[in-house]
Chain A
Amino acid sequence: MALLKRTGAARLAGLFMSILLEISGTDLLGQANPAPEYQLKAVFLYNFAQFVDWPPQAFSDAQAPIVIGILGDDPFGSYLDETVRGEKVNGHPLVVQRLRRLSDVKAVHVLFISESESDRVEQIVAALRGRPVLTVGDTEDFCARGGMVRLLNEKNKIRVRINLEPVKSAGLAVSSKLLRVADVQR
């Protein structure tokens, strides 16, 4: 595939594929729209970008993007991209990055730690300690294991749990609007 990508024909084919993907709204590899639960969670991530204040040094300049990273398997498909497309928060455009490895996490502001990484949550949050990255997950005991924000499905509704200590030590400020609806652990 890497070899093919260099040819114009493959590029055209790639473009065609991506157009098809966009038209159908589904992933041709068989992955359909994300489950409704993940459609909602994608919108929560978008909301977090608005309700969290990052320290100025988290951005290289006033127009630098707010990056939402997905570490591990992507449960959102293109839905998260659709959610943030064209959106800006305080002049910062929102972008989505898919990250395979922890070392890929560089200028990321919101990091969704996917279920595929659930075995090493402690390791990931320890590596990010003190950096202004809002860690979000939906796996068991995510907050107890050092994560900042857990999205949990309770009686078919998405609840937000916030672990305030790591949030504060990372220099992040969570709006009281969000705290008001969240289950806050101090």
Chain B
Amino acid sequence: MLFLFLPGTACSNEFLRRDAIAETEEFQLAGSDAQILQSRGYLTLMRRPPAFCIAVTAVFAFANIVRAQEPAYVPPSTLKKLSVEQLVDVDVTSVSKYPEKSSEAAAAIAVLTQEDIERAGVTNIPDALRLIPGLDVAQVDAHTWAISSRGFNDIYANKLLVMIDGRTVYTPLFSGVFWDVQDTMMEDIDRIEVVRGPGATLWGANAVNGVINIITKSARDTQGLLITAGAGTEEIGFTSIRYGVKLTDDAFLKIYTKYFDRDSTVRPNDSDAHDSWDMLRGGFRFDWQSNPENAFTFQGDIYGGDQDELYHVPTTTFPFAGRNSGTDNVAGGNLLGRWSHTFAPDNELTLQAYYDRTERVSPVFGENRDTGDVDLQYRFDWGERQKIILGGGFRATHASIDNSLNISFFPNDRTLKLYSAFLQDEITLVPETLRVTVGSKFEHNDFTGFEIQPSARALWTPGHAQTIWGSISRAVRTPSEAESDIRINPAPPVPIPPGLLTIIGNPDMESEKLIAYELGYRIQPISQLRLDATAFYNVYDDLRSLEPLVPGPVSPTRVANKLFGETYGTEISATAQVLSQWRVEAAYTYFEAQIHREEGGADSRSEAAAEGGSPHNQFFIRSLVDLPWNLHFDSTLRYVDDLRMPRVPSYVTADVRLAWSPRNNLEFSVVGRNLFDDRHPEFAPTFVGTQRTEVERSVYATVVWRY
């Protein structure tokens, strides 16, 4: 479970280019090649009719060849991605080689920028994540999602670390994320960085199959007034207001509030699923650069919402099952402070602390949780060829749980402590050609004690247009409170006393372990085209299983570690700037899991869920077109293969958005999502007896006004 990172924005790029870390919000880091991917083409043909552009594209290509005889030409879009700190470091004699350096990430990384989010017209974070290659996003009901990377998807998916501005938002309750409460103003998101594969060396336990880092804009970048409002078929109404003010030359403050009301989904038989919800949230962020060496950030959010839900619950009397139609009340808040001190451009200390509270009250379960976390990180250059980053942190989390017949915890009140430290060294073996990064995370948790998570990565850049990288890493997924303490009495499908099907936690559960092997290749054959391919082979041991207490078809089960297995797959993505006003992005993901029972293991159900809960094939293609008259037309076609456990058929659907800006501070847009069918299922409930629902077609209109 840890973090170990700090500067809220740049941190996840630690992997990639630590020399960029001192840079915070204003500039996108050159560190992520995906940002370069996003770069607009530098064709100088903007604002000319498309037909004309097509005609001259070929000529342009020729001109580029001619150009090779002239001074090296680097597209401005490439240099503009660099921070000033990086700009002063560019060697003018090798400037044409510099852009390729920015694709140097020895990990499978993808970045979704504010522009990508805005042009998709999405209203929530899970829908934004559908645009990231390799992520598996499935909506379960109006306010529940199952999101994972490289397999093991579930509502309670537990191998992904998710952070918002450096605050870990996965819950130790089940080592997963309550996606319904992870939200902010979509306009405030600067970017979403996703690393697929283990990120445990820097990030710690739970960063087993991936890390999602959501980074919001600084107060400096959100000055003035912004108002959005919209309504539609599923999005009944939504609005947000943001106001940013400059306090002094170096201090900025913003405040925001957001409200939405979402319609219910439908059940497979077309009846209403009674799962509509609404949520109100607000927050602030204060950024102060007191002098060139010291930067402070202080931010916080508070939210509350109501979610209707229909539960199948166990009862003590015949037929031992009933329905409970109720409302889940969710609420929470957080405060985070961060101080970073720069001793020299590549020598920086960052201290971060946060407090987070979450409350969830439902007919089957209640949870109040308080979390406090402190992290310290220091990075510096050691000699000419080594970049060191090290840090440590402490987290305490206290949960108080309201038990019900359906779900209960023993104990139902406990505090967990987590200590962690990490060290990483990036060594340049051959300047500009070969680099290796080695490091390890060490942590101590209350369930399994010490855990060590080392990794080694190598990056080779033969020639200047391609990058080859590889890695071997070990990661662990530490047990959750549920796995240790829970007792679930599911509503029985046939009239039998619910105790016969009870799932019982196991305080002696061990960590799930992964050894991951990854290979990656990136190439930019021409400046308008980037390709990125990764392949992985993951070997898991001690995966969670639910072992029957007595032999036979009907028995209570107990948490154990009697599964192991291998997963493998590939993720391929491409971005083409076909014309300066037309960008196309595509991604294909292939995934396969082979899970096995250990000797004595009898949990074929978990085995089937791990093998069958994620699609074998996923594909999307996205087109972003700038039209005359300040119109933008963006469309996405998505295909998701079928799931075998739960049984969900494959689907193809499309999302489109048309936006018009009559003035540069005003924009109208119309969005259609899931257009190809009235409704389709994407996942099914697990563990808790909510209903199967399907995602409906949705159309909404939005207006955005800035002053």
Check if B45 sits within 8 Å of A43, measured CB to CB: no
Given contacts A25-B67, A157-B92, A160-B88, contact A90 B223 (CB under 8 A): yes
> Which residues of the other chain, A, contact B342 by a CB distance below 8 angstroms?
180
Closest Cβ–Cβ distance, residue A47 to chain B (whole Å): 6
Bitwise, A164-186 to B at CB < 8 A (1) or not (0) is 00000000010111111100000
Given contacts A36-B72, A158-B90, contact A46 B95 (CB under 8 A): no
- Compute how far the CA of A14 lies from the CA of B90 in the bound complex, rounded to whole angstroms: 37
Closest Cβ–Cβ distance, residue B571 to chain A (whole Å): 31
> Which residues of the other chain, B, contact A78 by a CB distance below 8 angstroms?
44
Check if A158 sits within 8 Å of B92, measured CB to CB: yes
- A57 at interface (Cβ–Cβ under 8 A)? no
Check if A178 sits within 8 Å of B73, measured CB to CB: no
- B494 at interface (Cβ–Cβ under 8 A)? no
> Which residues of the other chain, B, contact A173 by a CB distance below 8 angstroms?
249
Partner of A25, one of B73, B82, B96, B249: B73
From residue 1 to 50 of chain A, which have CB atoms closer than 8 A to chain B?
19, 22-26, 32-37, 39-40, 42-44, 46-47, 50
> Which residues of the other chain, A, contact B289 by a CB distance below 8 angstroms?
175-177
Check if B84 sits within 8 Å of A47, measured CB to CB: yes
- Compute how far the CA of A25 lies from the CA of B289 in the bound complex, rounded to whole angstroms: 40
Of all chain A residues, which has the CB nearest B706?
A91
Check if A177 sits within 8 Å of B95, measured CB to CB: no
- B60 at interface (Cβ–Cβ under 8 A)? yes
Check if B88 sits within 8 Å of A63, measured CB to CB: no
Of all chain A residues, which has the CB nearest B80?
A43
- B87 at interface (Cβ–Cβ under 8 A)? yes
Check if A25 sits within 8 Å of B88, measured CB to CB: no
- Compute how far the CA of A19 lies from the CA of B47 in the bound complex, rounded to whole angstroms: 12
> Which residues of the other chain, B, contact A181 by a CB distance below 8 angstroms?
84-85, 88, 345
- B429 at interface (Cβ–Cβ under 8 A)? no
Question: Which one of A79-87, A101-109, A113-121, A136-144 is at the interface?
Answer: A79-87
Q: Count chain B CB atoms within 10 A of each CB in A42, A86, A91, A176 and give the residue with the most.
A: A176
- B269 at interface (Cβ–Cβ under 8 A)? no
- A131 at interface (Cβ–Cβ under 8 A)? no
- Compute how far the CA of A159 lies from the CA of B70 in the bound complex, rounded to whole angstroms: 25
- A54 at interface (Cβ–Cβ under 8 A)? no
Check if A177 sits within 8 Å of B26, measured CB to CB: yes
- A53 at interface (Cβ–Cβ under 8 A)? yes
Partner of B224, one of A25, A36, A79, A91: A91
Given contacts A39-B79, A78-B44, A175-B289, contact A47 B87 (CB under 8 A): yes
- B63 at interface (Cβ–Cβ under 8 A)? yes
- B51 at interface (Cβ–Cβ under 8 A)? no
> Which residues of the other chain, B, contact A83 by a CB distance below 8 angstroms?
76, 79-80
> Which residues of the other chain, A, contact B82 by a CB distance below 8 angstroms?
43
- A60 at interface (Cβ–Cβ under 8 A)? no
Closest Cβ–Cβ distance, residue A87 to chain B (whole Å): 8
Check if B74 sits within 8 Å of A36, measured CB to CB: yes
Check if A39 sits within 8 Å of B74, measured CB to CB: yes
Closest Cβ–Cβ distance, residue B84 to chain A (whole Å): 5
Given contacts A24-B66, A177-B84, contact A156 B26 (CB under 8 A): no
Of all chain B residues, which has the CB nearest A48?
B84
> Which residues of the other chain, A, contact B59 by a CB distance below 8 angstroms?
23
Given contacts A25-B67, A78-B44, contact A46 B80 (CB under 8 A): yes
- A59 at interface (Cβ–Cβ under 8 A)? no
Q: Count chain A CB atoms within 10 A of each CB in B70, B74, B292, B706 and give the residue with the most.
A: B292
- Compute how far the CA of A136 lies from the CA of B40 in the bound complex, rounded to whole angstroms: 28
- B270 at interface (Cβ–Cβ under 8 A)? no
From residue 44 to 91 of chain B, which have CB atoms closer than 8 A to chain A?
44-46, 56, 59-60, 63-64, 66-67, 70-76, 79-80, 82, 84-85, 87-91
Given contacts A33-B71, A158-B92, contact A176 B291 (CB under 8 A): yes
Check if B345 sits within 8 Å of A176, measured CB to CB: no
> Which residues of the other chain, B, contact A35 by a CB distance below 8 angstroms?
71, 92
Given contacts A23-B63, A37-B92, A180-B342, contact A63 B87 (CB under 8 A): no
Check if B95 sits within 8 Å of A82, measured CB to CB: no
From residue 79 to 122 of chain B, which have CB atoms closer than 8 A to chain A?
79-80, 82, 84-85, 87-93, 95-96
- B271 at interface (Cβ–Cβ under 8 A)? no
Given contacts A24-B63, A36-B71, A158-B90, contact A79 B76 (CB under 8 A): yes
- Compute how far the CA of A39 lies from the CA of B87 in the bound complex, rounded to whole angstroms: 11
> Which residues of the other chain, A, contact B706 by a CB distance below 8 angstroms?
91
Bitwise, B332-365 to A at CB < 8 A (1) or not (0) is 0000000000100100000000000000000000
Closest Cβ–Cβ distance, residue B220 to chain A (whole Å): 8
- Compute how far the CA of A79 lies from the CA of B23 in the bound complex, rounded to whole angstroms: 25
Check if A36 sits within 8 Å of B96, measured CB to CB: yes
Check if A156 sits within 8 Å of B76, measured CB to CB: no
Check if B91 sits within 8 Å of A157, measured CB to CB: yes
Q: Count chain B CB atoms within 10 A of each CB in A22, A32, A39 and give the residue with the most.
A: A39
Closest Cβ–Cβ distance, residue B6 to chain A (whole Å): 18
- B446 at interface (Cβ–Cβ under 8 A)? no
- A153 at interface (Cβ–Cβ under 8 A)? yes
> Which residues of the other chain, B, contact A156 by a CB distance below 8 angstroms?
91-93
Closest Cβ–Cβ distance, residue A94 to chain B (whole Å): 11
> Which residues of the other chain, A, contact B22 by a CB distance below 8 angstroms?
180
Closest Cβ–Cβ distance, residue A65 to chain B (whole Å): 11
Given contacts A23-B63, A180-B292, 6 further A-B contacts (CB under 8 A): A39-B74, A47-B87, A51-B84, A83-B80, A175-B26, A177-B84
26 CB contacts below 8 A, A to B, read A22-B45, A24-B66, A26-B63, A33-B67, A36-B74, A36-B93, A36-B95, A39-B74, A43-B79, A44-B84, A46-B80, A53-B249, A63-B664, A82-B44, A83-B79, A90-B224, A91-B665, A153-B92, A156-B93, A158-B87, A160-B84, A175-B250, A177-B23, A180-B293, A181-B85, A181-B345
- A-B pairs with lowest CB-CB distance, top 8: A83-B76, A180-B292, A36-B95, A32-B70, A43-B79, A176-B289, A22-B44, A176-B292
